[in-house]
Each structure stands twice: as C-alpha cells, then as structure tokens.
Amino acid sequence: MTGPWRRIVLVGFMGSGKTEVGGALGRELGWAFEDLDAAVEERAGASVPEIFRTRGEQVFRELEGTLGDELLEGEGIVLATGGGWPCRPDRIDRLDEGSLSVWLRVSVEGAVARVHAQGGGRPLLAVDDPTKRARELLDERERWYERARWHVDGEAGTPDEVARRIADRLRTDPERPLRD
C-alpha cells in the first residue's frame, strides 16, 4: 500500500503543520505517529523553550540529533521533525531507502500566523520582528528542505486534507518524486 516506504519523515519550517498533518497521516495509514520535539521534551524533562533558555540551543540540537536517530529506527511510523532537524548535511541525505522524506511547504506569512495562533513557543521566533526573522531563516533553510523527495503544499487545505492527499498519493503512486 505504501510501496517501499516503511516510515514517512515530515520536514519543513515552524508552523508548516508537521505535527497536525503527521498525526492525521498516521491515522490514515494506521501507522504510529512520533513527534521529535515531544520526544526531546520527554527525554529532557523540560519544554523546548526551557531547554533553549537554560541549556542553550546547542544542547537542544544534540538531543534532537540523538532522539531523531533513535526514532528513525522504527518501522510503520510517521515522524514529524522539528524545523531545524534537516538543516545539516547528515540528515535528509542519510535517510535509509525505506524512509520517504516529505517537505511541507509554507509561506513566511502562513508560518508566522500559525505560530502566533499556537501561542508562540518557538524560541527562534521570540523576537521583535518574527516575520523578518522567519524570512531570514527560511531563506537559509530552503536548500535543505528541498532535498526531501516529496514537496507538498502545506497550505492547500486543512491538515486532514493535506494528510489525505499524501496518503492517496502513497496508495496510487508511491515511488515517483512529488512536486506539489
């Protein structure tokens, strides 16, 4: 039903809907859903903003890398990564052949609006001008996100609708790269 894929790895900017789409996609496929930020928080016993504040971004990135590797050993899972996870050379390019990477594309305005609606919680956007900061970060990061095998418009409908589009495509044409 899902071709050669044993796990789906969602990547994309903050506010692109990875967690919501990932949960819905897990339900569609009957697969477990894992959220990398939640796994980091559980392991650290602290929220992401607390980790940034008290231990620094570098410690967060190390935890994110370790927990990401652990979760990627699972099969039949949808994994929502954090927005910074794929932005290193040892990430998307080193996924094994059973992992389908999917980039949920989002506009700067859409990302900032969603993060705001969720009440913040993103230390990197807790600045005077989050839109400017988000534009700078997205400019730096797009070259990493682009490495994902599938590119999906994360703003074309509700998270359930985006998940259904991904699931439909997995059922009908799982192997061909997707540029949505």
Residues making contact with ligand S3P (CB under 6 A): 14, 18, 37, 48, 82-84, 122-124
Least distance in Å: CB of 39 to ligand S3P? 11
Least distance in Å: CB of 153 to ligand S3P? 17
Q: How far apart are CA 70 and CA 72, in angstroms?
A: 5
Residues 6+ apart with CB under 8 A from 119: none
Nearer to ligand S3P by C-beta: 30 or 143? 143
Nearer to ligand S3P by C-beta: 34 or 37? 37
Count H helices and E strands in the chain, helices first: 7, 6
Report the candidate in 38, 90, 98 with the shortest Cα–Cα distance to residue 65.
90
Nearer to ligand S3P by C-beta: 26 or 84? 84
Least distance in Å: CB of 49 to ligand S3P? 7
Nearer to ligand S3P by C-beta: 46 or 124? 124
Nearer to ligand S3P by C-beta: 8 or 48? 48
As given in the structure block, the two tokens for residue 169 are 């495509």
Angle (nearest 5°) at CA 92 between 168 and 88? 145
Least distance in Å: CB of 84 to ligand S3P? 3
Least distance in Å: CB of 74 to ligand S3P? 19
Residues 6+ apart with CB under 8 A from 140: 87
